[in-house]
Structure 1
Amino acid sequence: MIGATLALGSAACYGVADVVGGLLARRADFRAVALLGQVGGLGCALVAALLLPAPDVRPADLAWGALSGAGTGAAMVFLYRGIARGAMSVVVPVSAVGGVALPVVAGVVLLGDRPSAMAWTGIAIVLPALWLVSRSRPDGRDPVRAALQDGLVASIGIGVQYLALAQAGDESGAWPVAAGRVTAVLAIAAPVGRLRLPDARTAGWAAANGAVAAAALVLYLEATREQLTVVAVVLASLYPVVPVLAGVTWLRERLSAAQGAGLAGAATAVLLLTLA
């Protein structure tokens, strides 16, 4: 139960970060938003690393964290680029479903995870549920092919982020997350060249949003220490539900039939994975 709660907390934080980051990417250079977010995330991760117990931090733990951060850097750049192009309805579901599939397959095939029958049922429900809940009504204006490419690359980055971070030792605290934020900053900053920096207010929001995303990774890392990696990944990957619920409750948007079915499926999956 503790692991499921931590993973769902991670999903909530990532969902909020997704909404805010997507809005910021439409107002400013998406690369600057991604970079400033990782800088803010580094600050949050360092605070968490200093506060959480870490009796045995090994170089391998930091290396896994660094690899996770490389995945984060790639994921955020392509995710924000896709959203900045106005193709959220394509990028989000592709990145979410792909980000679940890679760690689940690797966890079962390579790491020897053996979910129960109930957990497998929840995992099977999650993939179509995430796709349905993330879909919006098509208006014919989205650059679909480019958005698919952005979503696919982002999904690989998200999968690497989750899978690599889960390999860090249980006694390494949050230091792997901090190492990952350093790598993410370098991965984004190295190829971008000259950036158009946003105004101070937007930059502050981007940094604060990155801190929320880093908190999501800390919660996810703790979740993997309480339960199977594949279950933690699936629950943490429910973050697309947050933008949909925000739209319904705050913006009074109407759900499509597909989104309603997806939310019902996601709720069922959460129940099954929590009880498994």
Structure 2
Amino acid sequence: MTGELLALASAGCFGVTHFVNGVIARRAPGLTVSLYAQLGGTLVTLVVAVVWSPPGLTGLLWGALSGVGTGIGVAFLYRAMSRDALSVVVPVSDVGAVVLPVVAGLAFLGERPSPAAIAGIVLALPAIWLVSGGGRPTGPGIRYALIAGAGFAVQFLAMKPVPLDAGLWPIVVSRAASVAAILPLVLTTRTPLTLRPRLAWPAAAAGALGSVAIVLYWVATHQQLLAVATVLAALYPAIPVVLALLFLGERLSRKQTLGVCGAAAALALLALA
């Protein structure tokens, strides 16, 4: 499977994860949902690593840094969602998560995408914004959304240096570090630590799928430029939109329709590249 397809598969997994947890977060505190999701992701990767991946120390520090970014990103994204419209905070956090890795790839890693790839990257940024609803970037949750975007950018950037022969243990450390990053926020905000079982199990399962997304993205960065892999993985907001259409009876706005068309055009350009 090519790097482009792996990154798109990662976007699909990220999208389903956020859709499921977004629905659950309407019925329970968002921080608690994020905690259970990361616990589920940690448990699954630990079991798989014990069975199939030999223990080793390679890449563990990068994995831990990525996990801290994940924890900060998820925690502050949910805090932003509690203070502002999803159509505002999701695109702010997602665009922030894309811009920093793209700049790092171009400025520090010496990446030189083709003209078609650059055009696809440039087109993808407003498409991400529009497909999420294209709300105005004002409101009390914007500061948290910007912090979330920085956290997700660290998540993306820190996975790139992890060698593929390191096995899954850096992913285990990443998931565990995300739990460690979220738990103090849960405790200091006096958020409940427990979820009802009928909400806890889906949240954990969605978190496990989020771990699959991280693995797919990690492999994609070793088969494709960091800038391209990050942009493709960050197209995940289109997935909750589609799922909301199918299962929640929601309708596309004109901005979202334009965003979906823009995302399709960006994908075509990146595929040509």
TM-score, normalization by structure 1 = 0.91
Structure-1 residue corresponding to 2:146: 152
> Residue 10 of structure 1 contacts residue 236 of structure 1 at CA under 8 Å; is this kept in 2?
yes
> Residue 107 of structure 1 contacts residue 229 of structure 1 at CA under 8 Å; is this kept in 2?
yes
> Residue 88 of structure 2 contacts residue 135 of structure 2 at CA under 8 Å; is this kept in 1?
no
> Residue 84 of structure 2 contacts residue 139 of structure 2 at CA under 8 Å; is this kept in 1?
no
Structure-2 residue corresponding to 1:184: 178
Cα RMSD, aligned residues only? 2.0
Structure-1 residue corresponding to 2:45: 45
Give deviations 1:212-245, integer Å, cap 9, x for gaps: 1111101111111111111110100000001111
Note the C-alpha offset of 1:47. 3.7
Give deviations 1:163-199, integer Å, cap 9, x for gaps: 1111111211222211111111111113432441221
Structure-2 residue corresponding to 1:131: 129
Structure-2 residue corresponding to 1:35: 35
> Residue 49 of structure 1 contacts residue 173 of structure 1 at CA under 8 Å; is this kept in 2?
yes
Give the residue type in structure 2 aligned to 1:128: P
Change in CA separation of 1:11 and 1:51 when aligned onto 2, cut-off 3 Å: farther
Identical residues among aligned pairs (%)? 47
Structure 2 residue 161 is the aligned partner of structure 1 residue 167: yes
Distance (Å, rounded) in 2 between the aligned partners of 1:191 and 1:86: 19
Note the C-alpha offset of 1:260. 1.2
With 64-73 and 220-229 compared, the bigger mean Cα shift is at: 220-229
Structure-1 residue corresponding to 2:230: 233
Q: Flag structure 1 segments of 5+ consecutive residues without an equivalent.
A: none
Distance (Å, rounded) in 2 between the aligned partners of 1:70 and 1:146: 24
With 68-77 and 201-210 compared, the bigger mean Cα shift is at: 201-210
With 81-90 and 119-128 compared, the bigger mean Cα shift is at: 81-90
Give the residue type in structure 2 aligned to 1:167: P
Structure 2 residue 209 is the aligned partner of structure 1 residue 212: yes
Structure-2 residue corresponding to 1:260: 257
> Residue 117 of structure 2 contacts residue 269 of structure 2 at CA under 8 Å; is this kept in 1?
yes
Change in CA separation of 1:48 and 1:121 when aligned onto 2, cut-off 3 Å: farther
Distance (Å, rounded) in 1 between the aligned partners of 2:65 and 2:154: 8
Note the C-alpha offset of 1:249. 3.1
Change in CA separation of 1:51 and 1:91 when aligned onto 2, cut-off 3 Å: farther
Distance (Å, rounded) in 2 between the aligned partners of 1:48 and 1:263: 35
Give the residue type in structure 1 aligned to 2:208: A
Distance (Å, rounded) in 2 between the aligned partners of 1:58 and 1:109: 29
Distance (Å, rounded) in 2 between the aligned partners of 1:206 and 1:271: 33
Distance (Å, rounded) in 2 between the aligned partners of 1:201 and 1:186: 24
Note the C-alpha offset of 1:94. 0.5
SS at match of 1:254: coil
> Residue 127 of structure 2 contacts residue 262 of structure 2 at CA under 8 Å; is this kept in 1?
yes
Note the C-alpha offset of 1:136. 6.2
Distance (Å, rounded) in 1 between the aligned partners of 2:23 and 2:261: 27
Distance (Å, rounded) in 1 between the aligned partners of 2:168 and 2:271: 24
Note the C-alpha offset of 1:57. 4.5
Change in CA separation of 1:137 and 1:72 when aligned onto 2, cut-off 3 Å: closer
Structure-1 residue corresponding to 2:77: 79
